[in-house]
């Protein structure tokens, strides 16, 4: 993967501008961007991969409670229009790109059932980077991951969250 420079050099931005641009990369978790900005003198962060590495490290070094809050900040998949209104704009676009806004009534009911069962079992929503996937791929992953244990799914969620963040950063380059 090529490491593209970001449109504006993050290292040269004011804190306010940096948080405005990068505060939403991790869903409803501006603390990730705040941590990176406050630690920006410790390394180069002016390319996608370098900024992503800094953000990923901030998440990976956070305590379990902060990580759990990050996972729980993610929306359910194929949710109601009222719930979509609460989502970050990037999440709405990502879900629409996977066709989740065009579910049949049967698919919508299966997403609804799986969302509830997953959240009941694991205590957080199912997270998957939907870019490049379609609703059937997502349903297959949902069904498969339901059989995992909580620790495995927590790690899966973090991996997927990092993938989402990288894709969002690449979109800014």
Q: Which residues are tagged catalytic? A: 74
Contact present, 151 and 71 (Cβ < 8 Å)? no
Element (H, E) at 49: helix 48-61
3 state SS of 47: strand
Instruction: Pick the closest to residue 116 from 156, 78, 89 (CA basis).
Output: 78
Q: How far apart are the C-alpha atoms of 172 and 155, rounded to whole Å? A: 26
Contact present, 67 and 57 (Cβ < 8 Å)? no
Count the Cβ atoms, other than its own, within 10 Å of residue 89.
Answer: 8
């Amino acid at each position: 993967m090529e490491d593209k420079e970001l449109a504006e050099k993050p290292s040269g931005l004011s804190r306010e501008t940096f948080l405005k641009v990068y505060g939403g990369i991790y869903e409803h978790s501006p603390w990730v961007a705040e941590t990176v900005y406050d630690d920006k003198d410790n390394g180069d962060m002016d390319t996608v991969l370098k900024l992503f590495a800094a953000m990923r490290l901030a998440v990976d070094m956070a305590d379990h409670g902060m990580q759990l809050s990050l996972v729980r900040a993610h929306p359910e998949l194929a949710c109601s229009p009222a719930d979509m209104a609460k989502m970050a704009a990037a999440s709405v676009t990502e879900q629409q790109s996977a066709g989740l806004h065009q579910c049949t009534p049967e698919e919508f009911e299966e997403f609804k059932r799986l969302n509830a069962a997953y959240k009941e079992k694991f205590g957080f929503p199912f997270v998957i980077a939907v870019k490049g996937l379609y609703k059937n791929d997502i349903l297959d992953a949902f069904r498969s991951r339901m059989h995992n244990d909580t620790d495995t799914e927590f790690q899966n969620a973090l991996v997927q969250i990092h993938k989402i963040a990288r894709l969002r950063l690449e979109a800014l380059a």
